[in-house]
Amino acid sequence: MTKNASGVKSKIWLSAPHISGHEEVYIKEAFKTNWIAPLGPNVDGFESDLEGYLENESHVTALTSGTAAIHLALKLLNVSAGDEVLCQTKTFVASVNPVIYVGATPIFIDSETKTWNLCPELLEKAILDRLQKGKKPKAIIAINLYGMPYNVTDIHAIARKYQIPVIEDSAEALGSHYKNQPCGTFGDLSILSFNGNKIITTSGGGALVSRNRDTKKRAIFLATQAKDPGINYTHSEVGYNYRLSNILAGIGRGQMQVLENRIQTRRAHYEYYKNELQHISDIEFLEEPENYFSNRWLTAILFKTKTIRDGVLQALSKENIESRPSWKPMHQQPMFENHPSYLNGVSDNLFERGLCLPSGSNLTDVELDRVNLVIKKYFG
Ligand SMILES: *Cc1c(COP(=O)(O)O)cnc(C)c1O
């Protein structure tokens, strides 16, 4: 076991960046050709790599972050002050913050146990209730949490029935698919993230995936300060500075070459944990339902009780191993207190009992063993 000079065991991270070695070629090229700007051949190349990977008429706009991509998605759907947006409550806060940026109100919807994602029945119930209260929701934000696709068939049937556009937050799910179609291609608009902890990274970055070229054009317009045509810097509307740097896009191009490998590795980690720990009756794994394929961005497991979960988290932390409770639902966040929510107890329960285990694709067998042994030891 690796210890440093002071005898502390080396840190095991939840999901560390994993560089492939292919990135530097693109970065060097950017320096050599002086494309040190938020546009250039790497930005174009990274977008076309992603479009080739996603297929299904995907048009990709590379941006500074996944959060920026959600913000632009809301702008593209004309969500504005006073509007309501339906959002999965069980998620990372970045899914919801942009709703506040545009002055709209997030309405939180609970999850189903099968996928941990949006519960179709509750979604429809919420829509009917909002309609009855006199306001039609402007958008639905559906999440592919930890890489597990949401129930695409049912959620989109409801969205179509009530004609509400879906923003698919696929920040955690590049490489996942549902009925053999890639996540990131289901939303009217979809978003991806390349933050340092995601399955591939540009250090920081994101993308908006739209279904046609005109929407992509408008996304680029908004992401580059909304400058009207002509030489005079005339602006008829508010824009943003959201385009991805050509240097960072170079990292993305290198990362795209190993995406398949990263998916296989993270899935193998999930299988390892499952093989090692499934015999412990206090531990439960989130299985893939038929037609669902998860990139297993993070292996998230459930313990029988919160006390056990907290105990395991502490035992891991003592061994310098990072683990994390599964996302605290948005309806429990202090800043969203008293927000309208449609709840069934599932996300509260997952938050109490859920734990994310180290899942990075550069974890070594020795590190995985260390995690495994701490958990086994906890259960005697
Ligand atoms: C990471 C993440 C985001 C935000 O992406 P950034 O690139 O970090 O801004 C949004 N939604 C979810 C579910 C995420 O995990």
- pLDDT grade for 5, boundaries at 50, 70 and 90: low
Q: CA 353 to CA 355: how far, in whole Å?
A: 7
SS3 helix, strand, coil % of the chain, rounded to 5?
40, 15, 45
Provide CATH code, domain 23-256: 3.40.640.10
Query: What distance in angstroms lies between residue 66's CA and the mean position of ligand 1's atoms?
Result: 5
Tell me the two tokens of residue 230: 């002509």
Query: What distance in angstroms lies between residue 265's CA and the mean position of ligand 1's atoms?
Result: 21
pLDDT at 158: 98
Q: Tell the residue nearest (CA) to atom 11 of ligand 1.
A: 95
Is this structure's pTM higher than 0.75?
yes
Query: What distance in angstroms lies between residue 171's CA and the mean position of ligand 1's atoms?
Result: 5
- pLDDT grade for 162, boundaries at 50, 70 and 90: very high
Q: Is the pLDDT of residue 10 over 70?
A: yes
pLDDT at 338: 86
| Mean pLDDT, rounded, for 56-84 | 98
- pLDDT grade for 332, boundaries at 50, 70 and 90: very high
Q: Where in the chain is the domain with CATH 3.90.1150.10?
A: 259-378
| Mean pLDDT, rounded, for 138-161 | 98
Q: Is 172 in the pocket of ligand 1 (CB under 6 A)?
A: yes
Atom of ligand 1 at shortest distance to CA of 143? 13
Widest distance between CA atoms in the chain: 72
Q: Is 91 in the pocket of ligand 1 (CB under 6 A)?
A: yes
For the chain, what percent of residues have pLDDT higher than 70? 98
- The per-residue pLDDT for range 202-250, each reduced to its tens digit, is 999 999 999 999 999 999 999 999 999 999 999 999 999 999 999 999 9
pLDDT at 85: 98
What residues contact 252, with CB distance under 8 A and at least 6 apart? 42, 46, 49, 62, 194, 200, 202, 205, 244
- The per-residue pLDDT for range 89-121, each reduced to its tens digit, is 999 999 999 999 999 999 999 999 999 999 999
| Mean pLDDT, rounded, for 272-293 | 97
pLDDT at 272: 98
Atom of ligand 1 at shortest distance to CA of 197? 1
Q: Where in the chain is the domain with CATH 3.40.640.10?
A: 23-256
Pairing of strands 299-303, 354-357: antiparallel
Angle between helices 120-132 and 152-162 (to 10 degrees): 20
Q: Is 94 in the pocket of ligand 1 (CB under 6 A)?
A: yes
pLDDT at 215: 98
CB 81 within 8 A of CB 107: no
Query: What distance in angstroms lies between residue 205's CA and the mean position of ligand 1's atoms?
Result: 10
pLDDT at 258: 98
Q: What is the spatial order of strands in the sheet that 181-182 belongs to?
A: 181-182, 177-178, 292-293
| Mean pLDDT, rounded, for 263-277 | 98
Q: Is 170 in the pocket of ligand 1 (CB under 6 A)?
A: no
CB 149 within 8 A of CB 183: yes
Domain spanning 259-378: CATH superfamily: Aspartate Aminotransferase, domain 1 (3.90.1150.10)
The pair phi, psi for residue 190, each rounded to 5°, is -125, 160
Query: What distance in angstroms lies between residue 93's CA and the mean position of ligand 1's atoms?
Result: 8
Q: What secondary structure does DSSP assign to 44-91, as a single string?
A: HHHHHHHHHHH-SS-EEEEES-HHHHHHHHHHHTT--TT-EEEEESSS
Mean pLDDT value across the chain: 97
Rg (CA), the chain: 21
Q: Is the pLDDT of residue 6 over 70?
A: no
Atom of ligand 1 at shortest distance to CA of 204? 7
| Mean pLDDT, rounded, for 331-350 | 96
Best residue for ligand 1 mutational test, from 169, 326, 359 (most atoms within 8 Å of Cβ): 169
pLDDT at 321: 98
Best residue for ligand 1 mutational test, from 193, 245, 298 (most atoms within 8 Å of Cβ): 193
pLDDT at 7: 66
pLDDT at 316: 98
Beta partners for residue 303, in sequence order = 283
